[in-house]
């Protein structure tokens, strides 16, 4: 059976499962009516990696009118976790008696809404408890998982996240870039670097603080659908380190999206002075988390490593070299010459 046949078989099986859940669907349609939300059967789907979901623009806020979305599109995660009406026992799912909310689809593999969760970053964030920090997170505001579906889909995962215990104050200002070997083709990059192209990091000192920025670009073939447009995704991190407190006082992450022209202009010079002066391409910006107040260097470095979890270049940035296993895989793929 080839891949296309397997895909079609999966689609038929998911449709069959959906048909067995029509009573749940009908009950949920009735539940939504008092909220002014008129759902139809076409708004529901069953996906192995997501579950039984209803999709409608702004459905989360329709059914949770008390939920506050801040100016960055985030919700107060600490406030949600302190409410007895929700359970956070499984990463990515906020279980309630009437519905289950989901974390943002940009936490999923390949930024695809139908994929499983991407890395240990979300797990670390999900259970992160620090009385000195305030956490906010982006949710999937257009999809709700039906309450009776408690299934969890597991996939084997791995990540490159070395321990980092550097003296932040002593890090020199400036920009560093780590790029995948240019002689590798797309297939080889997928195998060794999971489609990554580069990581660019910038440190900058201003009075009593030092700012950190990181952007991770993927290769040209990596595209995601955003409002009907095929765009290039890039992971972005920003943090502020306070010299007097010796901790980070702000940390946030986002996904930026660029069209093909923008992508080619900025992927090799995102933080350069030339780019900032002559080329003001910023890309479509979607923030997915925020931690304010006190974040230790250890916690910050762990989150950075997990945010770029499938990219060995983050290991190279923290330690100065790629993992030995990655170096071996690079040489193997060069010998095999995978197309």
Give the pLDDT of the chain (339 residues) as one tens digit per residue: 555 777 788 889 989 999 999 999 999 999 999 999 999 999 999 998 899 999 999 999 999 999 999 999 999 999 999 888 889 989 999 999 899 999 999 999 888 888 888 868 999 999 998 888 999 999 999 999 998 876 666 555 444 444 454 789 888 888 888 888 888 887 888 888 888 899 999 999 998 999 999 999 998 989 999 888 999 999 999 999 999 999 999 999 999 999 999 999 898 888 875 554 455 556 688 999 999 999 999 999 999 999 998 888 998 888 888 888 888 888 887 776 555
Q: What is the DSSP letter of 116?
A: P
Token pair 């669907």 is at which residue?
Answer: 25
Please identify which residue in the block is written with the tokens 């870039």.
177
Instruction: Return the number of other C-beta atoms located less than 10 Å from residue 81's C-beta.
Output: 15
Contact 112, 105 (CB under 8 A): yes
247, 297 contact by CB (below 8 A): yes
Integer-rounded Cα radius of gyration of the chain: 21
Question: In the chain, where are the structural domains located?
Answer: 3-68+93-145, 168-336
Cβ–Cβ < 8 Å for 300, 248:
yes
Listed residue (175, 65, 88, 187) closest to 137, CA to CA: 88
Burial of 281 (0-12, 13-18, 19+ CB in 10 A): middle
Helices (H), 130-259: 186-193
Closest CA relative to residue 219, chosen from 253, 275, 285, 263: 263
CA dihedral 182, 234, 263, 189 (to 10 degrees): 20
b/e map 227-264, b = 16+ CB within 10 Å: eeeebbbbbbbbbbbbeeeebbbbbbbbbbbbeeebbe
Pick from 216, 84, 70: nearest CA to 134: 70
Report the sign of the C-alpha dihedral through residues 217, 220, 225, 230, in that order. positive
Q: How far is CA 289 from the centre of its chain?
A: 9
Angle at 290 between CA 287 and CA 293, to 5 degrees: 155
């Amino acid at each position: 059976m080839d891949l296309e046949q397997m895909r079609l078989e999966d689609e038929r099986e998911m449709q069959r499962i959906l048909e067995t859940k029509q009573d749940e669907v009908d009950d949920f349609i009735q539940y939504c009516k008092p909220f002014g939300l008129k759902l139809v059967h076409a708004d529901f789907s069953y996906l192995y990696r997501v579950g039984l979901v209803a999709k409608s623009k702004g459905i989360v806020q329709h059914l949770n009118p008390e939920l506050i979305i801040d100016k960055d599109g985030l919700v107060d995660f600490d406030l949600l976790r302190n409410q007895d009406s929700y359970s956070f026992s499984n990463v990515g799912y906020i279980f309630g008696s009437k519905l289950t909310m989901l974390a943002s689809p940009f936490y999923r593999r390949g930024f695809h809404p139908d994929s499983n969760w991407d890395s240990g970053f979300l797990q670390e964030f999900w259970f992160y408890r620090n009385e000195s920090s305030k956490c906010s997170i982006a949710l999937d505001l257009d999809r709700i998982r039906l309450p009776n579906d408690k299934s969890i889909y597991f996939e084997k995962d791995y990540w490159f996240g070395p321990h980092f215990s550097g003296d932040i104050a002593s890090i020199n200002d400036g920009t560093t870039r780590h790029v995948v070997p240019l002689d590798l083709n797309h297939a080889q990059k997928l195998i060794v670097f999971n489609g990554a192209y580069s990581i660019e990091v910038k440190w900058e000192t201003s009075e009593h603080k030092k700012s950190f920025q990181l952007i991770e670009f993927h290769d040209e073939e990596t595209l995601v659908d955003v409002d009907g447009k095929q765009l290039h995704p890039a992971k972005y991190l920003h943090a502020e380190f306070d010299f007097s407190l010796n901790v980070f006082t702000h940390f946030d992450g986002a996904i930026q999206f660029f069209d093909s022209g923008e992508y080619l202009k900025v992927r090799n010079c995102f933080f350069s002075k030339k780019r900032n002066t002559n080329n003001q391409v910023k890309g479509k910006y979607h923030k997915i988390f925020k931690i304010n107040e006190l974040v230790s260097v250890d916690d910050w470095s762990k989150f950075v490593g997990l945010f770029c979890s499938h990219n060995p270049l983050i290991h190279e940035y923290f330690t100065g070299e790629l993992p030995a296993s990655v170096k071996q895989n690079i040489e193997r793929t060069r010998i095999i010459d995978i197309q």
